[in-house]
Structure 1
Amino acid sequence: MLEQLNSIDQKAFFFVNSDLSNSFFDWLMPLMRLPAFWAPLYLFLIIFFIKEYKNKGLWLIAFLLLTFAIADFVSASIIKEYFQRLRPCNDPALFGLVKLRLSRCGGGFSFVSSHASNHFAIAVFLISTFYQRWKWVLPAALLWAALVCFAQVYVGVHYPFDVTCGGIFGASVGYGVSKLRKSLVPIDGIN
């Protein structure tokens, strides 16, 4: 069963990493996974929270940081260390087959993707917080997180199963922290 899942995961990986190859994605996808690329969005959120919600905006920032911290720590320091799955670009069995679109593969393990965990955690926190006020936050946040996940596979550093499980884990964290924030710091006009 595990071998069959791994085979399906590898086929899906090569579909994204090789079959979908094109010059536009080769340029865009490495950018999509960089924190600096998303820095304007993060800065906008900080300014918006403070401007719109004043002191409670600081609480939103604190809970958003807590969301990120939990998702990142658990995915990188606990789950990855437990499973120790090699990244596709570091797997000797796939040497020469993976199209690595970064200057280096990176260290660490592959399962689960911390990028996926972190971005889905933030996305679901934002959705859970703002959906009642702005319905568009749902598709926008999910598209943002999904693009980051797709980029991780496209550039060759994660399998689809890594980003899928990372996304599920991150979404759970984002939802949980959002519920905690709602119970501790209710804010008028948002969930």
Structure 2
Amino acid sequence: MNGFDLTILTFLTHGAFSTPFVNSAIKAIAGMYTFKGLLLVPILWWIWFRPTQRGEWEREIVIATFVSGLVALVLGRLLAHYLPFRVRPIYNPDLHLQFPVAEGEHELRFWSSFPSDHAMVWMSVAMGIFLVSYRVGIPAILYTAIFICATRIYLGLHYPTDVIAGLLIGVVVTYVMTRDSIRKPLAAPFLRWIHRWPGLCYAMAFVLCFELATQFDEVRMLVHAVSKVVAHS
């Protein structure tokens, strides 16, 4: 435990904002998909459909941003799996800190804390929004940092350095994926398919956006349940 993480966690857990109402509100914000992808993903749809002279470029950015979110999600899980395991603050008795109970998050006991995949995914999306419109992107970035990332620190699900690393990785992933040399060849086939089969493509885009908004949690739960059945059969 470094001094930076310990100082912030100690401040947050020693009555900085702690009241029953605040704790309940923060647990609700951190646990509900409405306060994560269901606010940021629709902004990508707005960018896609709004009339503008930069329509083709903006649509390429939306595609690259969506793919960046998927890349960030996969990369976050891979890093958490292959980097040295870091126990989450809420499950670390050596800290001697009392966190609000994060209901429904007990399975995270066995997931490494570093880096924060929430920070990676949603800062990646917010960065893509920022590249299109800084007036919308700056609020999106601030929203991601405060309502998605800071709440998870408050609940003891991540150390501050987990979140900072995730934010930086998310920014880098989207920055790289939106460069001309990557964005144009990446977006070209998607744009062709959408032009040829708009109904089918928009239906699939809706499903994929829903899964991104929920970070594929239900898919992961289904795969986990099936694997347990197969293992015991």
| TM-score normalised to structure 1 length | 0.77
The answer on whether the counterparts of 2:37 and 2:122 sit within 8 Å (CA) in structure 1 is no
1:173 aligns with 2:170: no
Instruction: Supply the distance in 2 between the matched residues of 1:161 and 1:168 (Cα, whole angstroms).
Output: 11
1:137 aligns with 2:136: yes
- Helix, strand or coil for the counterpart of 1:45? helix
Taking a change above 3 Å as real, the CA distance of residues 111 and 43 of structure 1, as seen in their structure-2 partners, is: closer
The answer on whether the counterparts of 1:81 and 1:109 sit within 8 Å (CA) in structure 2 is no
Correspondence for 2:5: 9
Counterpart of 1:144 in structure 2: which amino acid? Y
Pairwise CA distance, 1:161: 0.9
Pairwise CA distance, 1:61: 4.3
Which blocks of at least 5 consecutive residues in structure 2 are unaligned? Answer: 189-233
Pairwise CA distance, 1:39: 4.8
Q: How does 1:56-75 map to 2 (within 5 A)?
A: 56=56, 59-75=60-76
Equivalent pairs: percent with the same residue?
21
The answer on whether the counterparts of 2:153 and 2:160 sit within 8 Å (CA) in structure 1 is yes
Taking a change above 3 Å as real, the CA distance of residues 78 and 181 of structure 1, as seen in their structure-2 partners, is: same
Instruction: Supply the distance in 1 between the matched residues of 2:138 and 2:41 (Cα, whole angstroms).
Output: 20
Number of aligned residues: 177
Counterpart of 2:39 in structure 1: which amino acid? L
Correspondence for 2:119: 116
Correspondence for 2:145: 146
Instruction: Supply the distance in 1 between the matched residues of 2:65 and 2:157 (Cα, whole angstroms).
Output: 26
1:91-147 CA-to-partner distances (Å, cap 9, x unmatched) read 23236x23133114442010111111112111111111223xxxx224301211111
Instruction: Supply the distance in 2 between the matched residues of 1:53 and 1:76 (Cα, whole angstroms).
Output: 37
Correspondence for 2:90: 89
Pairwise CA distance, 1:14: 2.0
Correspondence for 2:39: 41
Instruction: Supply the distance in 2 between the matched residues of 1:37 and 1:116 (Cα, whole angstroms).
Output: 13
- Cα RMSD after superposing both structures: 2.9
Taking a change above 3 Å as real, the CA distance of residues 40 and 70 of structure 1, as seen in their structure-2 partners, is: closer
Correspondence for 2:155: 155
- Helix, strand or coil for the counterpart of 1:156? coil
The answer on whether the counterparts of 2:60 and 2:183 sit within 8 Å (CA) in structure 1 is no
1:140-163 CA-to-partner distances (Å, cap 9, x unmatched) read 012111111110111111111111
Instruction: Supply the distance in 1 between the matched residues of 2:183 and 2:75 (Cα, whole angstroms).
Output: 23
Counterpart of 2:112 in structure 1: which amino acid? F
**Larger-Rg structure:** 2
| TM-score normalised to structure 2 length | 0.64
1:25-70 CA-to-partner distances (Å, cap 9, x unmatched) read 3132223333233354245325413422699576554323211111
Counterpart of 1:31 in structure 2: which amino acid? A
Correspondence for 2:24: 27
Taking a change above 3 Å as real, the CA distance of residues 139 and 42 of structure 1, as seen in their structure-2 partners, is: closer
Which blocks of at least 5 consecutive residues in structure 1 are unaligned? Answer: 187-191
Pairwise CA distance, 1:13: 1.4
Instruction: Supply the distance in 2 between the matched residues of 1:8 and 1:40 (Cα, whole angstroms).
Output: 32
